[in-house]
A and B are shown apart, each in its own frame.
Chain A
Amino acid sequence: MGKNLVGNHIRRLRFNHDEMTQQQLADKVGVTRQTIVALEKGNYSPSLELAFRIAHAFDLPLEEVFFYGDNT
């Protein structure tokens, strides 16, 4: 299974938000911890709705949490 083209900064943002745990973020956005793990590993591209919920959880615009393609 190839890596998804939609990347994210979720891991870094969690640490910048008082070292928020995966479970805390999962509870905040209404998914399971497994989904946060898959997102951080780049194994899953979230739905638009979930992407917005995650961005809202960090109080950031969508494009500061997610990016398309290579962001290096």
Chain B
Amino acid sequence: MTYQEKKSIVSLISAILIFGMYSLYMYPQYPKGGVESIETFRYWGSFVLILTLVSIIAHIIISIMFNIVFRITTNEKEPKFADELDKLIELKAFRNSFFLFIIGFLLAMGSLIIYQPLHVMFIILILSGFISDVTGSVTKLYHYRRGV
């Protein structure tokens, strides 16, 4: 298995773990008050912002750790640049990821139209962000293994 394949797998697992652990941590903190109180909006706002920040930091740390482990276990250096194949796969991953996020975004807006509670819209929005992240990693893994 090459560096890029391993990196896609690590990225996929870390995305699932980060989202899962963060959701489990935030779930009990859901405000008890009115369903659409200021506190509820604050909760969802902080959920998204902190998740974004935590994801970025965790991905950077995991990426550094992965590179160290990769160097030690394989005696190979990680590629320092992205070549034409990497860029092509990156574009395909971004396309699929973006497509799924847009679908999720539209579904979230649709939930407001059919009078669903506000938290349904936020959950769909956050889940679509997570699914699009996972899709990006899966697409990369698929194309690195099966070709373009």
Contacts and interface: CB of A to CB of B under 8 A. Distances in A.
A24 B4 CA distance: 18
Contacts of A47: 84
Contacts of A38: 85, 144, 147-148
Contacts of B86: 32, 34-35
A35 B84 contact: yes
A3 B148 CA distance: 9
B147 A32 contact: no
Contact of B2 (A3, A31, A33, A50): A33
A50 B3 contact: no
Interface string B6-27: 0000000000000000000000
Interface centre among A33, A38, A44 (most CB of B within 10 A): A38
B146 A46 contact: no
B146 A37 contact: no
B148 A44 contact: yes
Interface residues of B, number: 16
Interface in B113-148: 142-144, 146-148
Main SS at interface, chain B: helix
Interface in B58-87: 79, 81, 83-86
Contacts of A3: 147
Interface residues of A, number: 18
B147 A41 contact: yes
A44 B3 CA distance: 17
Contacts of A41: 147
A38 to B, nearest CB: 6
Interface centre among B2, B83, B146 (most CB of A within 10 A): B83
A4 B4 contact: no
Contact of B83 (A1, A4, A31, A43): A31
B83 A32 contact: yes
B84 A37 contact: no
A1 B107 CA distance: 30
10 contacts: A1-B147, A31-B84, A32-B79, A34-B5, A34-B86, A35-B84, A38-B144, A38-B148, A43-B148, A44-B147
